[in-house]
Structure 1
Amino acid sequence: MRAWRVRTYGSEAALRDRLTLEVARLEAPDVVLAVTRRGRRTVVTGGRAGASATPREALRYELGSLSKTYAVLLLTTLAAEGLLTQDDRLAAHLPPTLRLPHRDSHGITLRHLATHTAGLPRIPYALFPGALLRPYQSGYARYDTERLLSAFAATRPRHPAGSRWGYSNFGAALLGPALARAAAVAYPALLGTRVLRPLGLTGTTLGPGPQGADAVGYRADGRTPLPATDMGAFSAAGAVRATPHDMLSYLEAHLNPAGTQLSGPLKEVQVPQLHRGGRRGETHTLTWFQHPAPGGPMLFHAGATFGQQAFCGYHPASGTGLAAVATRRGRRCRLVPAAYELLYALAEEGR
């Protein structure tokens, strides 16, 4: 993604004008761009769909893979409590009756799952045919925890853990049952009590809410609504739903960890873990992608479900965070590159 220079965002009005312009450029039924700069928030909404009874900024949006950042923050929180360590073997936190016939499966640690270095495919092999034949249906919904663990046992890792990077929803999903078993608490409740509640994220959940509370995506025709995405046992990989203001609160916690109850874990997830792609490649923290930016690195993650897209990014040096969400018609939506470029521009202005 290429960054570009823009005029100075010295005033609230100038920033709001820029956000309004970006919202108008995006081809999406609903769009929200939300910025926090040293604790001051600016939120602009728009889109091609008609206004709903619930304001766009009050709806909860499906965050898709952004959910992984919440799961890994939970991992570091449980590590801080002494319930586990990041370098525990995954097998140590799975049912002892689960037989793992492949040798490399035994070397996978929780850190490997968090950093996408476990050697597991993007999704279980059994999900590939359904993903091709039914692009608007969630195959994850048919995967309960038992089936997820059985799929792990049956999967031969592509390479020894820690030797290569390869993005994996499969690996991130396994954090769910592992963390739940370590704490003896179901994953949704565990995330709620250890992460969401301490950070005051009252508009964030792992499941759909009452009618009118959640944003709705559409098929490519722009008229046929899509059902809420059911992630089944893949909750840790992609089930979080959040309002834009809760997303800003989440970013503000990362920008100012000392002002939260999770100071240590929030700092821990920002520590670089690996670099890939040579000199022009990218660095990864325990859960965030990290790219160079004016004044210091910016950290970000994106996510998508069948009808929605989301982006969260922050630039600690300037105290800037950007949350962006959109519903979409089919797969046409440039929300993520637009949000990335906007965050870079804000970082450049704020250095």
Structure 2
Amino acid sequence: MSPEPDPALADRLAQAVARIDAPDVVLAVTRGGRRTVLTGGSALTPPTPRHALRYELGSLSKTFTVLLLAELARAGALALDDPLVAHLPDLPLTHPYARRITLWHLATHTSGLPRIPTDLVVGAVVHPYANGYAAYDTDRLLRTFARTRPRHRPGTRWRYSNFGLALLGPALSRAAGTTYPALLTERVLRPLGLTDTTLGPGTTGTDAIGHRTNGVTPVRSADMGAFLAAGSVRATPGDLLTYLEAHLFPEDTPLAGPLRDVQVPLLRRGWRHRNTHTLTWYHHPASHGPLLFHVGATFGQQAFIGYHPATRTGLVALATRRGRSCRMITTAYETLYALAGQPPERAAGAGGGSGR
């Protein structure tokens, strides 16, 4: 039998769910290994309960890819400071800076590459709900990289790049001698017990359906094409809690070393370099210790996961969105930040069950 939910935590999450303007909402918290889950939203309750659906994670997928990178580095299959061209040696690169890009630069968004390839920009502006990624195969991705001039010398400036993270997919695949989906499954998903996490749509009725800004018109499942490593992961709230618990208790997993590696602060970024970044996580100051988090979005869904190691607290927020004004990301961050403000001894003893 699940332990009784903490009433104060359940009330806090219910208030947070009410602030999010979206058709479907899930907020889930793990504290000291105990879980509390709340759902809501303006849409009719789907046949499969919201907490059991698989959601598109968008850029949150990058945390899985970089954890895989850290695992392969620990295993000796590659090194973080390997040049990208060492694993993609046949590319006719036209710009000297491109040859200096390392796997570390790609993971930390310091490669100098643009956010997305320029040939995707125009289509995204003219047709915001048309998925240009679907027809973008790996050969096209590599050809585009070969002729792209980095905006600055690698390692000198932080610039968020889906393009750069996408290139980690073929690079890791080449280094390990297998496909990216097989690699992620064998080296990350299976060892962490993430049985409801996939790189594509599941069977009918198991996936959340995204929405356009009107909150009613459905959006088709996001096919990320060659941007698999940057935005293709789908997961249930339960699996995401398991994923966060692995980061909070790495010693209890087969990936203890890589899980610790991805949490080490590595660089400072933002206005006056006030923000810190690890190999994959945003790293903000909070009570008793840092708060780590990442966000993601697809054409019709939003996702947030974050954790506070000092209080062993993690939070998952998922929504089928109604535009950018649904307030999910802000609400999730503020909720986690408030939970992090509780003293560690109180957080460690907080209860939690499954309130839906």
TM-score, structure 1 as length reference: 0.95
Deviations 1:98-155 (A, max 9, x none): 2001100000000000000000000000000010011112111111100000110010
Out of 23, 30, 53, which is 1:29 matched to? 23
Tell me, what secondary structure is at the counterpart of 1:314?
strand
Partner of 2:347: none
Aligned to 1:184: 177
Q: Which residue, out of 79, 87, 91, partners 1:98?
A: 91
Percentage of identical aligned residues: 66
Corresponding residue number in structure 1 for 2:229: 236
Aligned-residue offset at 1:220: 2.2
Displacement, 1:221? 2.5
The gaps in structure 1 that reach 5 residues or longer are 1-10
Verify: 1:14 aligned to 2:8, yes or no: yes
Out of 293, 312, 318, the residue aligned to residue 300 of structure 1 is 293
Shift of 1:80: 1.0
SS of aligned partner of 2:153: coil
1:279: Cα distance to partner?
5.8
Alignment check: 8 A CA contact 1:33 1:325 kept:
yes
- Structure 1 Cα separation of the partners of residues 246 and 34 of structure 2: 13
Once the two structures are superposed, residues 201-231 of structure 1 have per-residue CA deviations (whole angstroms, 9 ceiling, x without a partner) of 0010010011111001112222211100010
Equivalent residue, structure 2, for 1:155: 148
| One-letter code aligned to 2:62 | K
For residues 271 and 225 of structure 2, the distance between their equivalents in structure 1, rounded to whole angstroms, comes to 37
Give yes or no for the alignment of 1:339 onto 2:332: yes
Of residues 163, 179, 193, the one that matches 1:170 is 163
- Separation (CA, whole Å) in 1 of partners of 2:343 and 2:27: 18
User: 1: distance between equivalents of 2:23 and 2:343?
Assistant: 31
Aligned residues: 340
Query: 1:330, 1:289 → 2: CA distance?
Result: 23
Q: What is the deviation of 1:277?
A: 3.4
Q: Which residue of 2 aligns with 1:86?
A: 80
Cα drift, residue 97 of structure 1: 2.6
Residues 139-180 of structure 1 show CA distances to partners (whole Å, capped at 9, x for unaligned) of 111111000001100100011100111000000100000000
In the other structure, the counterpart of 1:110 is 103
Amino acid at match of 2:20: L
Residue 332 of structure 1 and its aligned partner are, at CA, apart by 3.1
The answer as to whether partners of 1:306 and 1:330 remain within 8 angstroms in 2 is: no
Question: In the alignment, is the contact (CA less than 8 A) between 1:313 and 1:321 conserved in 2?
Answer: yes
| Pairwise CA distance, 1:280 | 6.6
Q: Which letter does structure 1 place at the counterpart of 2:94?
A: P
CA contact (8 A) 1:207 1:239 kept: yes
**Deviations along 1:286-311, whole A, 9 cap, x unmatched?**
00000000000010000001100000
CA-CA distance at 1:278 after TM superposition = 5.8
Cα distance in 2 for partners of 1:184, 1:289 equals 31
For 1:290, the aligned partner's letter is H
**In structure 1, the residue corresponding to 2:218 is in which secondary structure?**
coil
Aligned to 2:322: 329
Could you state the TM-score of these two structures normalised by the residue count of structure 2?
Answer: 0.94
After superposition, the CA RMSD in angstroms is 1.1
Q: Which moved more, 1:287-296 or 1:270-279?
A: 270-279
